A and B are shown apart, each in its own frame.
Chain A
Amino acid sequence: MHGKAPPTRADFDRLYEAEFDYVWSTLRRLGVPDAHVEDVAHDVFITAWKKLAEYDSSRPLRPWLFGIAYRFASDFRDRAWQRREVADAEPDTTDEAPTPEGHAQQSQAKQLVLRAMESIPLDRRAVFVMHELEGQGIPEVAAALDVPLNTAYSRLRLARRDFQAAVEKLRGAP
């Protein structure tokens, strides 16, 4: 605690309104199937609310939220593997809005990115998502995921390699 006033219902509403899409997208990028994103997002917001009083508001919010989402995504994956539910899982596409013809290519590219990221182990993928998709610096990534700086760089290097190989495979490259 930092001696500040406890968060209020209004704080929660603002957090939810501003960050719901971010949490939703993050969980999908971390491999949570669409059918389970809502449940996992529920746990993320519950935890974010419980820890909001501890959050240092001088720091950016999203890396902090990412750290929470990552832990729940990781836990979900562990449990799902135990239940053998996500073996050979592919990203769902059911909630994608219908895309106008002009956006079809972009939609295909998004699907390709999500499918390629499926092949990246989760600890590397978290670094990859934060850095390559969200533009976070590696020091911020390391802090959010609570790993040493060198580890974060190493995971990024491996994730890039995994990603490139997956894209080539999905495109049928030799």
Chain B
Amino acid sequence: MTPNDLEPLSPELQALLAAERPLTSAPAAAKSRLLAKLSTELFEVPGGDGGGSEGGSSSSGPSSGPGPSGAPPTGAGVSGAGVSAAGSGLVAKAVVAKLVVGASVASMAVGGAIGAGVHSAVVEERERQHRLAAPERPATERPPEPPPPPVVTAEPPPSPSTPVVIPPTVTAPAKPQLSADEQLALEKSYVEQARVAMARQDPNGALEALAHHQRRFPNGQLTEERMALEVMALSSAGRSIEARNAANAFRKRFPAGLLRSAVDATAPEE
């Protein structure tokens, strides 16, 4: 077979193909959502000891097979950090993750955009706290104790008056094989997707990511952040009544929450 054996396409078919030659612009929401997901998987190591660093192509990437992944990220570079989850390190990570996300949520409410400076400062704080909470050990040293149970039980049960702004359909808990470390990383990735969508003025994209979080982690460690972001996303989408209901649900569940002021600023208490 050579080029001379090929019959050319007719001019009519050539003209038809010309219509498809320009690339289709992908949906912006999908682009930002996927970037957030990839950034989390490729460049963030839970615990803060590698977040945003360069390189790491061979060690931090997920060992994804050649198949499509219908499931949420299961933790590139997540499982490898599980060893350091002993003792108070895990609690520190949960608190710090809430701080990181919370600062972003709060900055969004105040300034309408990501507070890059605030975010950077909080990331540094995360790294510092992680070093304090989980000091480096020689590579050969085994952790002295198995990790404690996850700290997800500290929150009160969900209020029955929680508004139906996100379909509370399936309350499937996190997969049992996820460690608390992995669960927190996964929660962060959902909330981060929502935050990025909000920064791009895409409240519907944010609500979609938050719905994923609610289905997967109805009582997760970042529930407060999810509910606060939900208020802001609903408000940005012009769904003021739902935003007010969501704000009331937030205030009822987290009356002294870190993000209370941000929620109040978005949807004042009546």
Binding site for B on A (CB under 8 A): 6-10, 12, 16, 20-22, 24-25, 28-29, 36-43, 45-47, 49-50, 52-53, 71-72, 75-76, 79, 95-97, 106, 109-110, 112-114, 132-135, 138, 150, 153-154, 156-157, 160, 163-164, 167
Given A109-B16, A133-B20, A160-B9, decide whether A79 and B68 contact each other with a Cβ distance below 8 A: yes
Q: What B residues does A95 contact at CB under 8 A?
A: 26-27, 30
**10 additional contacts, CB 8 Å, given A12-B38, A25-B23?**
A22-B23, A28-B24, A39-B70, A45-B34, A45-B38, A46-B62, A72-B66, A76-B67, A113-B17, A153-B1
A-B contact pairs, 15 of them (CB 8 A): A9-B53, A9-B54, A16-B38, A21-B26, A38-B33, A38-B34, A43-B64, A46-B61, A49-B42, A109-B16, A135-B21, A153-B1, A153-B3, A157-B1, A163-B13
Residue contact A21 to B25, C-beta cutoff 8 Å: yes
Closest B-chain residue to A149, C-beta based? B1
Per the bound structure, the CA–CA distance linking A96 and B27 in Å amounts to: 9
Is B143 in the interface zone, CB < 8 Å from A?
no
Given A40-B68, A133-B17, decide whether A50 and B25 contact each other with a Cβ distance below 8 A: no
Closest B-chain residue to A45, C-beta based? B38
The residue from B1, B3, B61, B67 contacting A49, defined by CB atoms under 8 A apart: B61
Per the bound structure, the CA–CA distance linking A109 and B33 in Å amounts to: 30
Q: What B residues does A38 contact at CB under 8 A?
A: 30, 33-34
Is B35 in the interface zone, CB < 8 Å from A?
yes
Residue contact B66 to A20, C-beta cutoff 8 Å: no
Give the size of the chain B interface in residues (CB under 8 angstroms): 44
Residue contact A9 to B9, C-beta cutoff 8 Å: no
Q: Which of B130-162 contact A (CB under 8 A)?
A: none
Residue contact A25 to B24, C-beta cutoff 8 Å: yes
In the A-B complex, list the 7 residue pairs whose CB atoms are closest, starting with the nearest.
A109-B19, A24-B26, A8-B54, A153-B1, A113-B20, A40-B68, A6-B55
Q: What A residues does B38 contact at CB under 8 A?
A: 12, 16, 42, 45-46, 49
Per the bound structure, the CA–CA distance linking A112 and B19 in Å amounts to: 10
Task: Kindly name the residue among A10, A71, A160 whose own CB sees the greatest number of chain B CB atoms within 10 A.
Answer: A160
Residue contact A133 to B21, C-beta cutoff 8 Å: yes
Closest A-chain residue to B26, C-beta based? A24
Closest B-chain residue to A97, C-beta based? B25
Closest B-chain residue to A29, C-beta based? B20
Residue contact B24 to A7, C-beta cutoff 8 Å: no
Is B252 in the interface zone, CB < 8 Å from A?
no
Q: What A residues does B61 contact at CB under 8 A?
A: 46, 49-50
Distance from B40 Cβ to chain A, minimum over Cβ atoms (Å): 11
Q: Which of B1-37 contact A (CB under 8 A)?
A: 1-3, 5-7, 9-10, 13, 16-17, 19-21, 23-27, 30-31, 33-35, 37
